[in-house]
Amino acid sequence: MISVQKGHFMRILVLGATGRIGRMMQGAWVGADGVSALWQTRGDSAAAGWIGCDILHDPEGLKAACARVDVILTLAGVTPAPGVDLDQNSALALAVQRAAGGRPHLLASSAAVYGRARGLCRESDAVQPMAPYGIAKRAMEQAVLATGGPVTCLRIGNVAGADQILGRAGQGAALTLDRFADGRTPRRSYIGPATLARVLADLAIAAGQGRALPGILNVAAPGTVEMGALLDAAGHPWAARAAPPEAIAEVALDIGALSRFTRSGPASGTAAALVAEWRAYEQAARIPT
């Protein structure tokens, strides 16, 4: 449950509400105690609880939307695809920061900024992202933190169902995973849709109530999970190949700072729990509203 008393709501503007994670938040937050969301889409929208606004090209509309809420959650961003401009992540974040008017801003970043880090990844660690996406997200963090406004960059781990493993499971073909010399498949910090929704709500409520959140915060369930274990729990076939030299065996996020604002059950990062949350979300998404 969301960590406020029933009947008390924190008003949150969710930018990028039609993306994969945004849709997960819709399923979890509609009718939930504790939060009242205003959902943003780039197109026109007359639906209750929705607002049409182009983040980059409608600064006045964005400013007006921000003025209606207590906290802004930016899930909008550019993900890797042929021909995309990943630098737009910085432009989007800065546009929101200008429009926020001093309101707390929770900005989705990525664990990709850690690159080939070894051991437990802490927010205070020096980072060296390897891939263009991680490089762009790190540049976004630096740009928005330099504004000096109230913003927290959320380095979110893999989200079950929005990742490249469970996100492709159920499509028929077997998947291929790297297998390292120790016999294990890649290990990552993960979080399920329901757990992520609760964590983001708790962070928004804390920020809206005036608690000082750090500028960077890792977001994940406890521990790491093998990608092979996820597919086994989902009953999806997979094959192994020898991991190439550039493959990253593990990205493990330290969530000690996160635990000051919200807590997840110790089993919430296990393969069984992650698959159960993913399946619950997929099932709910099929039910007509």
pTM of the entire predicted model: 0.93
Average pLDDT value for residue range 255-260 = 97
Contacts of 75 (CB under 8 A, 6+ apart): 14, 15, 16, 17, 19, 21, 22, 25, 108
Q: Say what the pLDDT of residue 248 is.
A: 92
Pick from 40-54, 127-141, 263-277: least confident = 40-54
Percent of the chain with pLDDT over 90: 82
246 C-beta neighbours (distance < 10 Å), count? 8
Q: Which of 144-148, 216-220, 227-231, 263-267 has the lowest mean pLDDT?
A: 263-267
Q: Name residue 230's amino acid.
A: L
For the stretch 194-253, pLDDT in tens is: 999 999 999 999 999 999 999 999 999 999 999 999 999 999 999 999 999 989 999 999
178-203 per-residue burial string, b: 16 or more CB within 10 A, e: under 16: bbbeeebbbbbbbbbbbbbbbbbbbb
Tell me, what's the pLDDT at 7?
46
* Fold exhibited by the domain 10-159+192-220+253-267: Rossmann fold (3.40.50)
The CA distance from 241 to 70, in Å, is: 49
- Beta pairing class for 225-226 and 187-188: antiparallel
| Contact present, 133 and 80 (Cβ < 8 Å) | yes
Alpha helical stretches, state H, the chain: 20-29, 59-66, 88-99, 132-145, 193-208, 227-234, 271-286
